[in-house]
Amino acid sequence: MSEEFTEFVKLCHDATSGLTSFDVVIRWLLDKKKLYKDLLLSEGPIHFLLKFKAPIEVLRTLLQVAPELPYIEFSDGRTVLHLAACSSVSVEIMEYLLEVNFVAMN
């Protein structure tokens, strides 16, 4: 695991644990969007945001800085929608991701 990804996971964990807020994760995404573009387009960040039940604002920010994500097939052909379904996300997040993926599929 890269140092950058470890930093990202720690921020998500700390936000979930109440040690910090998800605003810190949003700022990290906005600050690092050019520096870590390859990382942001990988399966890890979206998977951890879904796993840690990040608020929809965080997911919107990630998809704002990495708009290609809905178009990418990750390991085993999985997409963002597959990851969300396996993470038991809220209806609001699933609807948002369906909307984003609908645009990507057309």
Query: Domain holding 97: CATH number?
Result: 1.25.40
Q: Is 99 exposed, middle or buried (0-12, 13-18, 19+ CB in 10 A)?
A: exposed
For 46-72, the pLDDT digits (tens) are 999 998 899 999 999 999 999 989 888
* % of the chain surpassing 70 pLDDT: 95
Angle, helix 56-65 to helix 43-51, in steps of 10 degrees? 170
How many distinct structural domains can be found in the chain?
1
**What is the model's pLDDT at position 105?**
60
pTM, entire model: 0.88
Range of the domain at 61: 3-105
Instruction: State which amino acid sits at residue 75.
Output: S
| b/e code 51-85 from CB counts within 10 Å (16+ = b) | bbbbbeebbebbbebbeebbeeebeeeebbbebbe
Tell me how far apart the alpha carbons of residues 100 and 92 are, in angstroms, rounded to a whole number: 12
